Every structure is written in structure tokens, then in C-alpha cells.
Amino acid sequence: LLAKAPHIVKPLRFILPHRPHLRPAWMIRAGLFLYDHLGKREKLPGSRGLRFGAGSPLKASISRGLEYSDCWVDDARLVVLNAMAIREHGGHVHTQTRCVSARRSKGLWHLHLERSDGSRYSIRASALVNAAGPWVARFIKEDLGQQSPYGIRLIQGSHIVVPRLFDGDEAYILQNEDGRIVFAIPYLERFTLIGTTDHEYQGDPAKVKITEGEIDYLLSVVNNHFKRPLARADIVHTYAGVRPLCDDESNDPSAVTRDYTLALSGLPGEAPLLSVFGGKLTTYRKLAESALSQLSAHFPKMTASWTASAPLPGGEQMSSVSELSERLCQQFGWLPQALAKRWASSYGSRVWQLLDGVSNLSDLGEHLGAGLYEREVDYLCQQEWAKCSADILWRRSKLGLFMTASQQTKLDHYLLQHSPQGARVA
């Protein structure tokens, strides 16, 4: 993934502070040794033991730890880049559109789709892939009127964003006494993202929210580890989501398999239905590859898989964000460095398209706030299906964290005046 999308995926070192309630350090090191050598780690440095000195942001009682490599990706950008890749390979992407029902007839699926404005239309398809995540089983039962072969467990993840809690580029992975894990990750230069998962969720996935209890829990775990105390007043943003995990009937939410299960159904002569239960971002490409291989019997002209080495949009002709932002600053001397870096890490080499025909700052249009210019808004509407300010400020970027309410209103006005159909309310 790092090679396919060097703009949105970045290597990250995780520090695991060692505390008395954890397994012995040698045992964790042995586990990390296997982690280092079983995965195909080509670019990332291996794990190592650490001793913390007086300069450590951790409490003085925490003197030892371990460090290992993993990667970070902006999940929302990963999704939009895949959607762009689909479009560039001739596919049609219908965003903000719900499949409200589907029936098989004469070897095809007949799908009824509903746009966010309530208007409906129909399409036919040779195969249907149900990748509705948390809604996968509900879609089979309620919209297809069939029995779902598996159940889905929803595991809530809750996050708080606070001003930067520690210096350095490393993330911390904190193992609490109750066995739950909390991570603290440097976030967008100025912040630290603190979060946890493994909390079973029973409600409507669309309405998941961080609870007061989860906020208290995150603050207390962080305060047990770091010198600098955090209070509720430090929280600048919160969000929550649910992991859709295939129900393997495990009693412990943290033990439910993170693997995916694919279920193919359809009698001979019928159009197939392939449903995806569970999975994770890390294996999304492999999942898609095995989904297509399961469907290959229905598509005799299907070619061999090719996605392993193909770059995602923007990952072409670039090696790293720093190299690309340096090139941008050299070629466009007037471009603010922070903007060059943010654009390089959001759009990769597509930034040349964004800057096509631009020769000075005023060519970027009005500054709407926090480094967002009209030019970028237009790019996001034209290339990345952005329709409303929430798409731009939270889904395609995280500029919502930096913009004032009046700047956001200005963006709403701009979208109302300039988008082809007028902006939607977020």
C-alpha cells in the first residue's frame, strides 16, 4: 500500500510503553520479532527495545518500552482514490446513492437506487457485490428479502482530538490494565488523535457517537501514561465509527476475527450475489482480488489481477510527500510551503492538475480560510464528487479542524453559487 499510494500512506513508529501488568518484555519482543519477519517488511525498520530518559513525555515510572513499525493512512482519502481509480478504468461511481431493493430476473439483477434528494432510478447488473459494511446482513434481510449466511458484530471505535500532547513523530500504543488498547497518534501537525476500539455496539451504525464514558476512559488511560495531564476542556473534536466484523460468536469483542469472509450465492443461471462480511483497511485490495476471483466463473472475459503494483490516483510519478512538496515549491516559488505539503499529502501527483495554468497565488481564487482556496474547492467538486462543505472539510480533508464558523459559512456560500446543482446542506 505504501508503494501504491505514497502520498496518503505514511510509515509510523509505534512506541509501546512497558508496564508491570503486561506480559514480560522478552515475550512481547519475541512477538514483535515474528511480526517483523513474517510480514513482508521491505521498507520499514524493524522493532527494538527502548529505555526512556528524563526527556520522555511518559511518566517517570515508565522507564522501558518497545518500538515497532506500521503505517498510517487517511481512510477517507483511500476510499475516494479507489473510487477515482474505478472511474478512470471506465466504471461509474454513484455517490450518495442507496440501493433500496434488488431482485433477480432472467440472469440479471434489477436494482432500485435512490439518490440523496429522494429521486429513484433503476439499473441492471450481471452480478451484485454487497459491500455494505455494517449494513451487509441488514441489506440481505431487508432489501433482498433473503436469509443472511452470517451475522455481523459491530465494534465501536471512539476518538478524541486534543492539541499536540507530545513532541516527535512516533505514535504511542497504550495497553491498559483491562486489556484494552488506546493509541495516541500525532495528527495533522498540531494535534494528537487518541482512540480505542473493542467496545461492542448494538444501535444504528449511522448514529454511533462517542459516549461520556468513553471520553472519561480515554482521558484516564492517557493520564495514567503521560506527564502532561489532559482534561475535557482540551478536547477540540470527537468522532466514532463501527467496525463491521464477521460474527464468529466469540465472547470477547477484542477477540472477534478481523479477517473477512466472502459469501457467494446464486443458483446456476442466476446472477450471483457476493457479500462481504468483516475485513480491514490493510487487506482491502486482497479482499477485492479474492472477491473477483470468486466471481470469475460468471465473467469469462475477466483478465488476470493487476492491482498489486498499480498506483492509486496521485501515487504515480512521486516517491514521497517531502520530495513532491520540494518539487512544487521549486516550480511555484509563490506557493506557501504548508500548502505544498498538504496538497502533496492529499493529492499526490494530481496536484499538477490542480495547479495547471496557475502562475500566482491570486490565480487560486479567494482564500476561504485555513489554506483553502476556491481552486481546491473546484477541484474537489469536479474530481472527487464533493457536494457540500462537510464533504470538503471532513471527508476529503480535515480542514474542518482549522476553519472558523464564519469561514465555513463562506465556503457554504461559495458552493451555493458555484456548484452546478447548488450545494446541499451537509
Q: Which residues bind ligand FAD (CB under 6 A)?
A: 75, 98-99, 131-135, 139, 143, 157, 197, 241-244, 276, 279-282
Please, what is the minimum distance in Å from the beta carbon of residue 134 to ligand FAD? 5
Please, what is the minimum distance in Å from the beta carbon of residue 271 to ligand FAD? 17
Please, what is the minimum distance in Å from the beta carbon of residue 98 to ligand FAD? 4
Nearer Cβ to ligand FAD (181/188): 181
**Furthest-apart CA atoms within the chain: distance in Å:** 72
Nearer Cβ to ligand FAD (6/241): 241
Residue nearest to ligand FAD (CB): 157
Q: What's the DSSP call for residue 37?
A: H
Please, what is the minimum distance in Å from the beta carbon of residue 283 to ligand FAD? 7
Q: How far apart are the C-alpha atoms of 193 and 165, rounded to whole Å?
A: 9
Q: How far apart are the C-alpha atoms of 223 and 219, rounded to whole Å?
A: 6
Q: How far apart are the C-alpha atoms of 32 and 239, rounded to whole Å?
A: 30
Grid coordinates representing 398 are 480535515
Best CA proximity match to 8, nearest among 391, 351, 410: 351
Best CA proximity match to 241, nearest among 196, 282, 175, 276: 196
Q: What's the DSSP call for residue 188?
A: T
Nearer Cβ to ligand FAD (232/280): 280
Please, what is the minimum distance in Å from the beta carbon of residue 48 to ligand FAD? 22
Q: How far apart are the C-alpha atoms of 344 and 341, rounded to whole Å?
A: 5
Q: Scanning the structure block, which residue is given the C-alpha cell 459516549?
A: 211
Q: Are 314 and 321 a contacting pair, CB within 8 Å? A: no
Please, what is the minimum distance in Å from the beta carbon of residue 106 to ligand FAD? 23
Q: Are 403 and 393 a contacting pair, CB within 8 Å? A: yes
Q: CB count, 10 Å around CB of 151?
A: 13
Question: How would DSSP label each residue in 304-365?
Answer: ---TTTPPPTT-TT-S-HHHHHHHHHHH-TTS-HHHHHHHHHHHGGGHHHHTTT--SGGGG-
Best CA proximity match to 5, nearest among 212, 213, 311, 293: 311
- Bridge partners, residue 196, by sequence: 158, 182
Nearer Cβ to ligand FAD (64/94): 94
Q: CB count, 10 Å around CB of 189?
A: 9
Nearer Cβ to ligand FAD (12/50): 12
Q: Where are the alpha helices (DSSP H) in 104-151?
A: 136-138
Nearer Cβ to ligand FAD (57/157): 157
Sign of CA dihedral 311, 335, 388, 240: positive
Nearer Cβ to ligand FAD (93/281): 281
Nearer Cβ to ligand FAD (255/416): 255
Q: How far apart are the C-alpha atoms of 323 and 11, rounded to whole Å?
A: 15
Residue 404's SS3 state is coil
Nearer Cβ to ligand FAD (99/127): 99
Please, what is the minimum distance in Å from the beta carbon of residue 99 to ligand FAD? 4
Please, what is the minimum distance in Å from the beta carbon of residue 155 to ligand FAD? 7
Nearer Cβ to ligand FAD (388/403): 388
